[in-house]
Structure 1
Amino acid sequence: MLLAIDAGNTNIVFALVGDDGAIRTRWRITTDPRRTADEYAVWLVQLLALEGFSKADVTGVIIGTVVPRALHNLEVLASKYFGVEPLVAGQGAAAWGVDLDVAEPATVGADRVLNAIAGHALHEGDLVVIDFGTATTFDVVDYSGAYKGGIIAPGINLSLDALVSAAAKLPKVAIEAPETASVIGRTTETQMHIGIYWGYVAMMEGLVARMKAEIGRPVTVIATGGLATLFDHHTGIFDAIESDLTIQGLSMLYRRSVGAAH
C-alpha cells in the first residue's frame, strides 16, 4: 500500500492508500519541522498496528509539502523505517505533468497543484477549488487540467485568532454556524460569530461570483479541507465536497509516476 503524506502549515496528514486508490485510514499530527524521523516512526508505527497494519504493508511513499524544513525528516522516515525511497510531489519522477499557467510556476504550493490534479480527474470542465486550511485558497483549473491561478485569503481560524489577539476585550469563540440567520447580533459573542461566519460566507460567495464571471464558462466549485462541511449547509456555491482531495492528488501522482517508470 501507499503511504501518502500531506505536510501543511498547521498539520501533516498521513494516509494509507490501497492499490485501488481507496483511502484505508488517515492520521493527523501537528506540523513541527523539528520533529525527527524517529519521533514520526514511534507515533506512526503504533497507529498502523492499531488499525491492523504493519510497516511491511507500506510499499511506497509520496510526500507533498508546503513546509520545506519538514521534508528531510519525512524522507528519512520513509527510507529508514519503511525501506523505500519516497517520491516528492513536483520533483524528479513525480514532476507535476500539468500546465502551471501562471507568472511564477515554482511558487505554487504543492497542495494547490495536487488539488488541481485530483479535481480535474474527478470532475469535467472548468473548476474552482476552495481549500480550507491555514489559508483559504481559491484555485482555477481549466477544462484541459491546466492550473490558471487563484486567490489566497486568510483562513477562518487565522482571521479569528488575529481579531482576538488584537482586541483586548473580545473573547475567544468557537468557529460554528450562528444559531439563526440574523446578521444583527445582540451580544458581543453573537456579533463575533456573525462577523466571522457570515462574513466568511459573503467573502466566498463574492469571490466565486467574480471568478465565474471572469472565466466566462460553466464552472464546477469543489470544496476541500477540514472546514468545508461547516459552510455546506449555509451557502449554495459548492457543487461538490471532496474531503481528501489533496491525498487523492498524491495517490494519482504516485500511480502515474510509478507507471511512467515501467
Structure 2
Amino acid sequence: MLLAIDAGNTNIVFALVEPGQGDAPPTIRTRWRIATDARRTGDEYAVWLNQLLMLEGFTMADVNAVIIATVVPRALHNLRTLASKYFKVEPLVAGEAGAEWGIELDVAEPESVGADRVINAIAAHAREPGDLIVIDFGTATTFDVVDYTGAYKGGIIAPGINLSLDALVSAAAKLPRIAIEAPASSSVIGRTTEEQMHIGVFWGYVAMMEGLVARMRAQIGRPAKIIATGGLAVLFNDHTSLFDRIVSDLTIEGLAMLYSRSQHG
C-alpha cells in the first residue's frame, strides 16, 4: 500500500492508501495526524507510526511506496529518512522528478505555489468538470482557481480563522479566548463581549468567503463550482450555501493520483 504524507504548517497527515486502478478513485484505509515539528526525526516518526499501524491491523511491511508533499522544507529530510530507513523505499516528492505535476501552472511564479494547492487542483479537476474554485481551510485559508482544462490559474491566500482569532486575542488584552463555533443566536448585534467576538469572527469569515468567491466568479466569467476541504469546511457548511461539495481528504486523494500517474508514465 501507499503511505501518503501531507506536511502542512500546522499538522502532518499520514494516510494509508490503496491507489485506484485506471480512473477509479483511491481508497483511503486510515489516516493519522501529528503536529508539525521540523525537528522531529525519522526515528520518532517510525516509532509513532509503527504503533498506529498495529492498532489498525497493519504492519510497516504493508507499505511498499511513499509519496510526500510538504510546504515545510525543513521537514522533508526527516520524512525522506523515514521512508528510506523504515519502509525501505525511495519516496516520491510531489513536484519533483518522477512526480511532476502534469498540469499547467498558469501563474507568474509557478515555483512558489504550495504543493498542497497544486495537489488539490489535480484532485478537484479529477472529481468535477468545468471551472472550479477550491477553498482549503488550513493555517491559511486558500482560494484556488482551476479552469475547465485542469490548469491552475492562481488564487487568494487569507489568514486562517484560527490565526485571525489568535491575532485578535493576543493584541487586545481584555478580550477573552473563545471557541470557533457558530454564534448561538442568529442576531448579528451582540449584547456581550463574547457574543460580539463570535459574530465578528464567524460571520465575518463567512462574509469574507462569500465576498471573495463572488468577485472570483465575476472575474472568471463562467460558472464555477466550489469545492471545500479542511477541517472547518463542515462547520461553515451549515451556515452558507457557498460550497457545492466538501471533500475532506482532497489533498490525500491528489497525492494518490499523482503517485498513480508516476507509475503509469
Same fold (TM over 0.5): yes
Q: State the SS of the aligned residue for 1:93.
A: coil
Q: How many residues align?
A: 260
Q: What is the alpha-carbon distance in structure 2 between the residues aligned to residue 182 and residue 89 of structure 1? A: 46
Q: State the SS of the aligned residue for 1:176.
A: coil
Q: Which residue of 1 aligns with 2:8?
A: 8
Pairwise CA RMSD? 0.5
1:140 to 142, 145, 148: 145
Answer whether contact 2:120 2:254 (CA < 8 A) is retained: yes
Q: State the SS of the aligned residue for 2:202.
A: helix
Cα displacement (A) at 1:19: 3.7
Is 2:86 the counterpart of 1:77? no
Q: Which residue of 1 aligns with 2:183?
A: 178
Is 2:159 the counterpart of 1:151? no
1:200 to 192, 205, 223: 205
Q: What is the alpha-carbon distance in structure 2 between the residues aligned to residue 187 and residue 259 of structure 1? A: 60
Cα displacement (A) at 1:180: 1.7
| TM-score of the pair, normalised by structure 2 | 0.97
| TM-score of the pair, normalised by structure 1 | 0.99
Q: State the SS of the aligned residue for 2:188.
A: coil
Q: What is the alpha-carbon distance in structure 2 between the residues aligned to residue 49 and residue 213 of structure 1? A: 50
2:31 to 26, 36, 51: 26
Is 2:246 the counterpart of 1:241? yes
> What are the ranges of 5 or more consecutive residues in structure 2 without an aligned counterpart?
21-25
Q: Which residue of 1 aligns with 2:23?
A: none
Answer whether contact 2:19 2:260 (CA < 8 A) is retained: no
Is 2:22 the counterpart of 1:17? no
Q: Which residue of 2 aligns with 1:37?
A: 42
Which segment drifts farther, 14-23 or 132-141?
A: 14-23
Q: Deviations over 1:171-226 (max 9, x none)?
A: 00000011122100001011000000000000000000000000010111000001
Q: What is the alpha-carbon distance in structure 2 between the residues aligned to residue 78 and residue 136 of structure 1? A: 30
> What are the ranges of 5 or more consecutive residues in structure 1 without an aligned counterpart?
none
Q: State the SS of the aligned residue for 1:180.
A: coil
